[in-house]
Amino acid sequence: MKIVTYPLKGSWPMLCRRPASDYTDVDPVVREILGRIKTGGDSALRFFTEKYDGPIIRKFRVPAGEIAGSAALVAEELRSAILTAKENIAKFHRCQIPGTAVVETYPGVSCWQKSVPVETAGLYVPGGTAPLFSTVLMLAVPASLAGCSRIILCTPPEKDGRIDPAILFAASVSGVTDIFTAGGAQAIAAMAYGTESVPRVDKIFGPGNMYVTRAKEMIQLDGVPIDMPAGPSEVLVISDNTGNPSFIAADLLSQAEHGTDSQVLFLTDTPEMITAVKSEVENQLEDLPRKEIAAKSLENSMLILMRSIGECVGFSNFYAPEHLILATSDPASLSESIRNAGSVFLGKYSCESAGDYASGTNHTLPTGGFARNYSGVTTGSFMKTISFQEISGDGLRSLGPVIERLAEAEQLHGHRNAVTIRLNSLSNVRS
């Protein structure tokens, strides 16, 4: 990890640059996949699944019997852990369901807003070296609480053509209605455009590699919304002299092991902490099974010595990390100054892994600095709002002249007339 000492504010933009991703070779591949799935449906989906994942999939929809039987294939302790995580996620996301409040904006004029769910939500859960059942929970639980009538899940097959039972079990207990064996950019295309097997969805959620990320960005041009821009994982840790170096090092490595393009940063106002954390990172790295991945990630990472904790917070707000850990003596007070972060963890025992799995908050978060203007996934992400209003006769009598003046000033006489004709009608009724 690179050590940076007392950087001037003018150098912050350079220090906050994320590892660059080269999409030169990715974009043509993704465009081809999107185009062929759009016109070829299941046939194209089957072709790309065999090309990139290996198995030949005859039927993309996972049978109900296979889903129901998944519980028996998952160890009891893991089933229990998944259910505990699911309940905590549900508790946190249930409180996000918006209510309806009627506001009288003017005498006789009532306005209110109603939140309604996206009808069909499309969830993408990546494959890889381990089944990401936690992502199933993080997406399906709030989608179910929002009231989505259909929750579609796509995830790539293993080499034998099947889906890991832990993913199927997590999906079965969290409200997923349909599961399809499809991964990569081809799965995003299938949900965006629809195929003979996979229905077209209204909005797509979930993380993935650069092919999935680019596919999500491109399908927006065809009018299919997504959750947020996504990118490599990242964490920023701020600590004073009360921090525990071994805890901090473990937190840094927990994100570094995600991928070679992940980025981790440690900020402190205490020189001794830089030395201690660096030593701990090196020691713990040796015992990490994903050592090579984490080591590559650490090449993009930094230990930064600042003049004060306040300056550390200022840098963090500029960086806008996906995950922010405040390992200081008074993290609650410090958290009041946080303006840009995906998810914040307060105190030495609040490890980022808790948020990834089971504390209840969502781990689908903005990366790459998008925490400046995006939120993580919430129950509201699966909902949209419709505004309503009702104006009584007396309300129009009092507000109507205001509307007439405004419409006339904009030279929209049709708008003005829609009010005038009603006011004249009310005048006739009164006379």
109-117 and 323-327: which strand pairing?
Answer: unpaired
Considering the candidates 234, 257, 258, 323, report the single residue annotated as catalytic. 323
CB 304 within 8 A of CB 15: yes
196 among known catalytic residues: no
CB 219 within 8 A of CB 65: no
Considering the candidates 322, 352, 363, 404, report the single residue annotated as catalytic. 322
415 among known catalytic residues: no
> 3-class secondary structure for the chain?
CEEEECCCHHHHHHHCCCCCCCCCCHHHHHHHHHHHHHHHHHHHHHHHHHHHHCCCCCCCECCHHHHHCCHHHCCHHHHHHHHHHHHHHHHHHHCCCCCCCCEEEECCEEEEEEEEECCEEEEECCCCCCCCHHHHHHHHHHHHHHCCCEEEEEECCCCCCCCCHHHHHHHHHCCCCEEEECCHHHHHHHHHHCCCCCCCCCEEECCCCHHHHHHHHHHHHHCCCECCCCCCCEEEEEECCCCCHHHHHHHHHHHHCCCCCCEEEEEECCHHHHHHHHHHHHHHHCCCCCHHHHHHHHCCCEEEECCCHHHHHHHHHHHCCCEEEEECCCHHHHHCCCCCCCEEEECCCCCHHHHHHCCCCCCCCCCCCHHHCCCCCCHHHHEEEEEEEEECHHHHHHHHHHHHHHHHHCCCHHHHHHHHHHHHHHHHHHC
The whole-angstrom separation of Cα 421 and Cα 349 is 67
The whole-angstrom separation of Cα 195 and Cα 5 is 55
Residues identified as active-site: 322-323
